[in-house]
A and B are shown apart, each in its own frame.
Chain A
Amino acid sequence: MSNLHHDDHIYFAGGVHPEEGKYLSESKAIQEAPLLDSYTVILNQHIGAPPKLIVKKGDAVKKGQLLAEAGGFVSAPVHSPTSGTVRNIEDCPGPMGVPLLAVVIDSDGKDEWGSSLEPIADWENTSPDDLKKRISDAGLVGMGGAAFPTHVKLSPPPEKKIDHLIFNGAECEPYLTADHRLMLEYPESVVEGCAIIARVLGVKNIYIGIEANKPDAIKVLREKAASFGVNIIALRVRYPQGAEKQLIYAVTGRKVPAGGLPMDAGCVVQNIGTAVAVTEAVKEGKPLFERVTTVTGEPLANPGNWKFRIGTPVSKAIELAGGVKYSPAKVILGGPMMGFAQKNLQVPVMKNTSGILLLSKEQLVQYESYPCIRCGRCVDACPMNIIPGPLSTMIESGEFELAEKNNLMHCIECGSCAYVCPSFRPLVQHFRRGKAEINARKRKMKK
């Protein structure tokens, strides 16, 4: 094991190490989900401008066919997950509680291919611009959770010099194993995707950061990586190691300036899932219409990793995973630290749904929250070196400007502070409220 740890690497201060819970699904191979009768494909799955719908009710569509084209530069197209007819275009429950416009597709069972993208076999001799266009046409977005359109990250302004390309295989969220399985089962696709993105950016330093609790993935990838010039780095097991800024610090020792983007530190960070999707988009001409998602949790009969078509309702996904042994108390999209609790299980799987987590009643002890006792544990745990405790009291008493002065906006909402708080304070919820308030005020000021 000793050769897996890179003790010469520097690591961010703070963070926590929650119970991993990965044992439930880390040994389960990725299974292809069977074809469903219908899919609900949400149009606005990414950060940025909503895409423009190009199909209408009653249209016949094929698998991989364009449903909506990008509505601007910071936008991504959406493709059909299977062949069939468009039953309706209607609002469907979204993961944040707000209904979103979606295309409902009735499957015809034939699953006919209809993507207009041609496979690019010889990508090593294809121009970076063509590769970038392919990535944008295939509707690729960051699959780790933020769903930021990938081609935008690959188009840094000319004055920012990018010299490091980092892939995030840390998967520091407890319970989630989708990236782990991808690295184990599709190592060639992972490293090839890394190399393709490196060609687009013209970067020579390519790294994949993997937490040291996945020694098998590190071993497999090290074997495959050398031929593409990709370096594998074993990272300390510490949440949130997979957060962009913390990952850059561990790999390059650079700090992203406050309020800046990774490109300000000369880095571009992409997710492992995105790398695989890039390989498929380039070599097979396959748009992003399916993804690997971990369905896990104690109440599940058969936790595992599944390749779901985008648009599979969460309720169906749970059914496919063998259903539940007993009724769960909470269903979370994403991991337990940063995921969002759902109230309607008709929410479909989206491009950024890395996990579906069910928690039992026992795991969900409802604590009463108490006033801050100023113990400072949250300050020790904060990976962004801000002061969560005092910030939360500022927001509670409505001192939003003071909170902003004390760097509230730098909070990455990782939840480490709330995890260690002995007073069970809902710190992240306070911060989200404070940020919403400050952003609303800024918008008002602009008007």
Chain B
Amino acid sequence: METVLIAFILMTLSGILLGCIIGAAAKFFFVKSDPRIEDVNEMLPGANCGGCGKAGCSDLARAIVAGECVPGSCPVCSLAVVGRIAAYLGVDAGSSVKKAAVVFCGGSNSKARKSVNYNGINDCISASLIAGGPKDCRFGCMGLASCARVCPFNAIEVIDGLACVHSDICTGCGKCIESCPRKLIRLVPETAPFHVYCNSPEKGVEKKKNCDVACIACRKCLKAAGEDQMKIEGFLAQVNYDNMPGADVIEKAACPTSCISSPENHFPGTLKKENAAR
């Protein structure tokens, strides 16, 4: 009985003592933190994709509360969520153009020529180390899905040997950009009416040998859209995404190689969300 009593008293005393220490420590070493950061963090998607340029969602929450960023900086949030965060903090939502990744290549298996059989590792970086990849074009998509494997949102699907981005799923986090050894993927405003689906800087004649849908720099689209809305760099037409042309340019330009196309018409097969990679 006595033993139990001693133990009970000892435990109670040490408990009280330690409690006091912890209480005092909490008082002396208190770090002032804004409770709003936690709340904003709750509202953010929590995918930690890095699309905003911050270390993760909690870092962005801190930046938004501190006023370094506008709530609209998160590329993943819907407008409603951005509005909610803005209303909660009583700040301006800020506008950020929603960006989506685009694979600038139209060379699917049926359109780009392949003169070799590749049966190595199914990975774009590995393939690019062997004789420059399976397709004849050294600048186009190899279709081995390295980008699809790194996408945290399963927004990239490889259809007929060509990586295609589902712009409705894509959050613009930019992970795929680094994974592509050909540097084919860029972030562009989701509202762009069309893209020039080609990345090859080679001369038109050379490109035509390798691919049916290469940009041959004929300048037809430039004439249709105007110099300030489109530009030609090297032998490659590009949409000026800061001053985007209208959708009617596709028809007016009548691209002879069908290299210009709207994102909806670009996919070589039908778009099936449920088939998204992985």
Contacts and interface: CB of A to CB of B under 8 A. Distances in A.
Interface of A: 96-99, 340-344, 366, 426, 429-430, 432-433, 436-437
A214 B130 CA distance: 33
A430 B131 contact: no
B130 A341 contact: yes
Contacts of B123: 433
Contacts of A342: 131
14 contacts: A96-B131, A97-B130, A99-B138, A340-B130, A341-B116, A341-B131, A429-B129, A430-B121, A432-B129, A433-B121, A433-B126, A433-B129, A436-B125, A437-B125
B216 to A, nearest CB: 19
Contacts of A340: 130-131
Given A96-B131, A341-B130, A437-B125, A429 B120 contact: yes
Contact of B126 (A99, A343, A344, A432): A432
Interface of B (DSSP majority class): loop
A239 to B, nearest CB: 21
A341 B132 CA distance: 11
Contacts of B129: 429, 432-433, 436
Interface residues of B, number: 15
Contacts of A97: 130-133, 138
A369 to B, nearest CB: 8
Contacts of B121: 426, 429-430, 433
A96 B119 CA distance: 17
Contacts of B115: 343-344
Nearest to B135: A343
Nearest to B134: A343
A344 B137 CA distance: 12
Contacts of B136: 343
Interface string B96-125: 000000000000000000011001110101
Contacts of A366: 119
Most chain A beta carbons < 10 A, residue from B116, B123, B126: B126
B125 A343 contact: no
A430 B126 contact: yes
B259 to A, nearest CB: 22
Contacts of A341: 116, 130-131
A341 B115 CA distance: 13
Interface string B185-224: 0000000000000000000000000000000000000000
A426 B130 CA distance: 12
A365 to B, nearest CB: 11
A16 B126 CA distance: 25
Contacts of B120: 426, 429
A13 B115 CA distance: 40
B125 A433 contact: yes
A99 B210 CA distance: 15
Contacts of A343: 115-116, 131-132, 136
A370 to B, nearest CB: 13
A343 B118 CA distance: 10
A329 to B, nearest CB: 9
A42 B126 CA distance: 25
Nearest to B116: A343
A433 B121 CA distance: 10
Contacts of B132: 96-98, 343
A97 B136 CA distance: 10
A98 B126 contact: no
B152 to A, nearest CB: 14
Given A97-B132, A432-B126, 5 more contacts: A96-B131, A341-B116, A343-B132, A426-B126, A433-B123
A336 B132 CA distance: 19
B143 to A, nearest CB: 16
A432 B133 CA distance: 14
Contacts of B131: 96-97, 340-343
Contacts of A426: 120-121, 126
Contacts of A433: 121, 123, 125-126, 129
Nearest to B123: A433
Most chain A beta carbons < 10 A, residue from B115, B116, B130, B138: B130
B138 A98 contact: yes
Most chain B beta carbons < 10 A, residue from A97, A343, A426, A437: A343
B82 to A, nearest CB: 33
A96 B131 CA distance: 5
